[in-house]
Amino acid sequence: MNDTTPPEPPVTPPVTPPAPAAAAPVPAPTEPAATYKFPPSIHPDGNKFVVLAAVLTGFFWFIADWNILGWLSAGLTVWTFAFFRDPARVTPEGAGLVVSPADGLVSQIMEVPAPREISGSERGIGEGTFTRVSIFMSVFDVHVNRSPIAGTLRDIVYVPGKFLNAELDKASEHNERQYFVVEGADGRRIGFTQIAGLVARRIIKFVNTGESVGAGQRVGLIRFGSRVDVFLPAGTVPAVAVGQRAVAGETVIGRPGAPGERLRGVSQ
Residues 132-148: pLDDT tens digits?
999 999 888 988 999 99
Residue 169 has pLDDT above 70, yes or no: no
Q: Say if CB 132 and CB 110 are below 8 A apart.
A: yes
Q: Which of 10-14, 37-41, 76-80 shows the lowest mean pLDDT across its residues?
A: 10-14
Residue range 17-70, pLDDT digits in tens? 665 655 556 555 566 666 666 677 877 777 777 888 888 888 887 777 777 877
Q: What are phi and psi of 232, to 5 degrees?
A: -90, 130
What's the confidence (pLDDT) of residue 15? 58
Most confident among 66-70, 120-124, 248-252, 255-259 (mean pLDDT):
248-252
Residue 168 has pLDDT above 70, yes or no: no
Q: Which residues are catalytic?
A: 226
Report the predicted TM-score, pTM, of the whole model to 2 decimal places: 0.78
Residue 255: pLDDT band with limits 50, 70, 90: very high
What's the confidence (pLDDT) of residue 33? 65
Residue 222: pLDDT band with limits 50, 70, 90: confident
Q: How far apart are CA 178 and CA 11, in angstroms?
A: 89
What's the confidence (pLDDT) of residue 264? 75
Mean pLDDT estimate for the chain? 83
Residue 14 has pLDDT above 90, yes or no: no
Over pLDDT 90: what percentage of the chain?
A: 43
Q: What are phi and psi of 118, to 5 degrees?
A: -130, 20
Longest dimension (CA), the chain: 140
Q: What are phi and psi of 93, to 5 degrees?
A: -110, 145
β-pair partners for 159 = 177
Neighbour tally for 259: CB within 10 Å = 11
Residue range 175-188, pLDDT digits in tens? 889 999 999 999 99
- Compute the average pLDDT of residues 193-202: 76
